[in-house]
Amino acid sequence: MQATGPLAIFFFVLGLTFGSFGNVLILRLPRDKKIIGRSQCPKCKAQL
C-alpha cells in the first residue's frame, strides 16, 4: 500500500508553512521588528 498522495500533500503544506514563516523573517528582521506578534498595516499601523 502506497501513501504517495497523502504524503505529498503533507509535504506541500509543510513547505507552505515554512515558506510563510521565512517571508515573515525576511520582512521583519532587517527592520529590527519582533518575529512574533501581530502584523500591522504599513500605512496606518493598525493591527491586522
C-alpha cell read off for 13: 503544506
**CA–CA distance, 32 with 30 (Å, rounded to integer):** 6
What is the pLDDT tens value at each position of the chain, 48 positions in all?
A: 677 999 999 999 999 999 999 998 998 899 888 888 888 888 998 998
Stated pTM of the model: 0.65
Task: Give the bridge partners for 47, in sequence order.
Answer: 40
Under a CB-based contact definition with an 8 Å cutoff, are residues 38 and 28 in contact?
Answer: no
Q: What is the largest CA-CA distance in the chain?
A: 54
Residue 45 CA: distances (Å) to CA of 11, 20, 27? 35, 21, 15
